[in-house]
Structures are given as C-alpha cells and as structure tokens.
C-alpha cells in the first residue's frame, strides 16, 4: 500500500542563513546606524528575538525578516510574530516563534479535506504529522494537489513517499 507523510518542517540552516543576511543588511543600512537594533536566532528554543528603538524600525525589521526568509526559500507562514513590548529604556522587543509540526486543528482540517475528496485514500493523524495511505500513487498525488490548494496557516511538505 502506497503512502506519504504530510509535515510542516522548517529548514533551520536556511533560517539561520536568512537571519545572518538580515544582520549584514542592518549593518549597511543608513536608517539603522547607531540604533542598537539586534536580531538573534535561538535554534534550541526556535525563537527569533528582535530589539530596536522605535515602532517604525520594528515594523521595518519585520518586513526585512519576511523578505530575507522568502529569498532563502523558507515559507514565511512558519513565523509567528509576537506583540511589540517594552524592553527597558527606550528599547522595544518582539519575539518571533518558529512554528513546526501540524497542530491538531490543522490535522483535522487535512483529514476532513481528504475524506471530502472521495478518493480511495485514508488519512491518519500521527503526533505532528498526517499519514496518507492509498492503493494508487495517482490518488496520492491528487491528494497532494488538494492539500496544496488548501489555505492553511502553515506550510506543508510531503515526505516518505512509499509505493
């Protein structure tokens, strides 16, 4: 029986490269000179910490981060931006969580979409991924297209294709 796994993973090395590119860009930009703006990636906690002096620079940082992440072929939907908060003095802080894995609600949406497709496949939730099984590879490929068409809040990847 053919199967594949639907997951939501982030290439942490590419994300690290994107954050390093952002740091380089901050050093060369005139509007960020002397502003003590910092961006730091914590791979262990899957968190990006941004510190800057005002709301305008914080919003620019957000747009720049999305831009460099997209250039490195990492889907920006994996970034969950927190609220801007005071960090002491005149500094502002924002934490950006890196979302990995498929949560239960999204997994239920995926299995519902698979069932509504009327294809001869089965979807089962396995922790933070969804396994799709069927007899025909063509059916599995049709399910992939259906899942790509769903408007989900996180990027999906299809791994472990077995026939």
Whole-angstrom distance, CA of residue 19 vs CA of residue 151: 27
Tens of pLDDT, residue by residue over 89-103, are: 889 999 999 999 998
Q: How far apart are the first and last CA of the chain?
A: 6
What confidence tens digit (pLDDT) does each residue in 65-94 have? 999 999 999 999 999 999 999 988 889 999
Nearest to 32, CA basis, from 12, 11, 61, 8: 61
Give dist(CA 97, CA 80) in Å, integer. 5
pLDDT tens digits along 94-148 = 999 999 999 899 999 999 999 998 889 999 999 899 999 999 899 899 999 999 9
pTM as predicted: 0.85
């Amino acid at each position: 029986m053919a199967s594949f796994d639907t997951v939501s993973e982030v290439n942490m090395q590419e994300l690290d490269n994107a954050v390093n590119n952002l740091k380089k860009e901050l050093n060369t930009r005139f509007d960020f000179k002397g502003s003590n703006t910092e961006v730091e990636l914590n791979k262990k906690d899957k968190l990006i910490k941004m510190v800057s002096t005002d709301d305008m620079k914080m919003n620019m940082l957000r747009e720049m981060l999305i831009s460099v992440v997209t250039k490195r072929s990492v889907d920006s939907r994996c970034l969950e931006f927190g609220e801007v908060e005071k960090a002491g003095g005149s500094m502002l802080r924002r934490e950006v969580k890196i979302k990995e894995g498929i949560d239960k609600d999204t997994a239920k949406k995926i299995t519902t979409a698979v069932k509504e497709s009327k294809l001869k496949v089965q979807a089962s939730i396995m922790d933070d991924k969804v396994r799709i099984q069927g007899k025909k590879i063509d059916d599995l490929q049709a399910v992939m297209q259906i899942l790509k068409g769903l408007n989900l809040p996180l990027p999906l990847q299809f791994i472990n294709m077995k026939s």
